[in-house]
Structure 1
């Protein structure tokens, strides 16, 4: 059967049609990407996608959203959209609707991913465990966190979370300075404030102050571009620091969730950081957990290489929720 897949984040909304074969294999069609800031409402982007498909859409939808899925109204942490599920069903004629957190969707993708589709970052070069918990997280406009538990018999269960909003725990003097800098703006500094795309601006400002340099007035996108291409030393140092902080947070997530079976890093920013995350700094921070350092070094950490794991994962979740439609 054919369904609509959507992945709504803080910066982009992505839609695609997906063909689901018997047994649940998903074949994703062309992906339409819309900037959320260029569309006042979710419905505007939805209508644009509908028109691009010739005006007719399937009556089944799998939707991943960057926020908590509770009640009829879906609100987003990092954009101003809301989605009224009852209205979406009525106005679009959806007969089947699966809606889930975006990183829960990515966890569904990770649960089904072949090891060849995962890039080794740290820890032993081995497959994720067939039984036990696998932690899933990734930076983007925010910081998404979820996990999945494999039962050892081919089945699994996904649990969404808002783990990106736990407190930031500094590790060294630079982290301390970053926390102090952010505390002047926020009553409480969460992990998302230091390990998401926009955070690179604050990291850069803190490093510039410590080094006596003049901080440049650039957007997060410009800093990321300069840092990743190595054209600016301060931006490159900020990217290095970001990867170290992400390593610390990834280790904390694994400790909290019992993710001994593996840790999956995902998201568009994660893909851009692939080579940087293979550096010693990320791995050292991931395993620097005191008396549990040896345990942390035994956990395989991998990057989800698929460009659209939220869409394919949403489709996988749809198959689980509506097995009669995917048989």
Structure 2
């Protein structure tokens, strides 16, 4: 069976034709990526995808959306699209479709791909457990959080909006970052810091602590200069980001009762070597009386190139092809 797998994020919408084999295996064609800011709606982006595909798209679709999927109207968290799920069959010419949260889709991918599609980040260098709960966390344009529970014969995914819980500072530097953000926002969620754009406020907070005057740089420049060790302050901002991601990942693992954690998303993959060398693992474990328990949780990073698309197709297969 062929279907269109679609992963709509805050910055890009990724399309790919997926094939679900008779044995349940999933194969993805080469993705087509469209910037969401170039299109006023999913419908116009779909038309461009069909044009680039060069043929009529399949009549089935799995659509992963960066935002809460509740009711018949989904408003994107980090872009301007509004998606009316009850009208997708007419708007896109579909016969069957599945709509789910984007990080629920990533959780489906984490549950389905083999261990060869992961690399070790922290804790014991072992595969993610075959039973129990696994947290899935991914910093990107925002912060995606989901979890799933494995049991004999299957798994169940739970979408969340965990990226929007309150930011919890751990030390004086975190306090300074929080103070900067609190002066600008009514409320400071963890996503304000643990996301790609969050590096800007981290960078300026560190500059203020050192009483340095710095240029207004965009997040991509700071990431490039920091990961490449081209600028000491940018490198310090990247290290601080890794600490905050470790703290947040540990918090989610505690809240979910997780026996394993998967880090996902393009940003996590790009800085995987930096994460290993940073204080990420130490901050993940830094949970007071539960430090020993946290040290026993494997933390792995998914290396599959398109987990959102793969996971969307997996969710469709679970709903329609099982």
Corresponding position of 1:254: 253
Corresponding position of 2:12: 12
* Separation in 1, partners of 2:24, 2:67: 26
Instruction: Please say which of residues 99-108 and 79-88 is displaced more in the overlay.
Output: 79-88
* Separation in 1, partners of 2:153, 2:261: 18
Query: Aligned residue pairs: how many?
Result: 322
For the 8 Å contact 2:242–2:278, the answer to whether it is kept is no
Corresponding position of 1:99: 99
Deviation of the 1:111 alpha carbon: 0.5
1:124-170, Cα deviation, whole Å (9 max, x unpaired) = 0111111100000110000000001011x241110000000111000
Deviation of the 1:91 alpha carbon: 2.4
* Separation in 2, partners of 1:266, 1:113: 13
Corresponding position of 2:60: 60
Partner SS state of residue 24, structure 1? coil
Alignment of 1:1-327 (within 5 A): 1-151=1-151, 153-260=152-259, 262-323=260-321
Partner SS state of residue 134, structure 1? strand
1:65-86, Cα deviation, whole Å (9 max, x unpaired) = 0000011111111111111123
Q: Which runs of 5+ in 2 are unaligned?
A: none
* Separation in 1, partners of 2:91, 2:8: 19
Partner SS state of residue 278, structure 1? helix
* TM-score of the superposed pair, with normalisation by structure 2: 0.98
1:52-77, Cα deviation, whole Å (9 max, x unpaired) = 12241111000100000011111111
* Separation in 2, partners of 1:45, 1:289: 45
Q: Which runs of 4+ in 1 moved over 2 A?
A: none
Deviation of the 1:280 alpha carbon: 4.5
1:242-280, Cα deviation, whole Å (9 max, x unpaired) = 0000000000000000012x1000001011110111125
Q: Which runs of 5+ in 1 are unaligned?
A: none
Partner SS state of residue 191, structure 2? helix
For the 8 Å contact 2:66–2:102, the answer to whether it is kept is yes
1:297–1:280 Cα change, 3 Å:
farther
Deviation of the 1:87 alpha carbon: 2.5
* TM-score of the superposed pair, with normalisation by structure 1: 0.97
Deviation of the 1:88 alpha carbon: 1.9
Partner SS state of residue 222, structure 1? helix
* Separation in 2, partners of 1:308, 1:50: 20
For the 8 Å contact 2:75–2:81, the answer to whether it is kept is yes
* Separation in 2, partners of 1:40, 1:3: 23
Partner SS state of residue 196, structure 1? coil
1:197-221, Cα deviation, whole Å (9 max, x unpaired) = 1100000000001112222211111
For the 8 Å contact 1:130–1:154, the answer to whether it is kept is no
For the 8 Å contact 1:4–1:61, the answer to whether it is kept is yes
* Separation in 2, partners of 1:38, 1:267: 22
For the 8 Å contact 1:209–1:215, the answer to whether it is kept is no
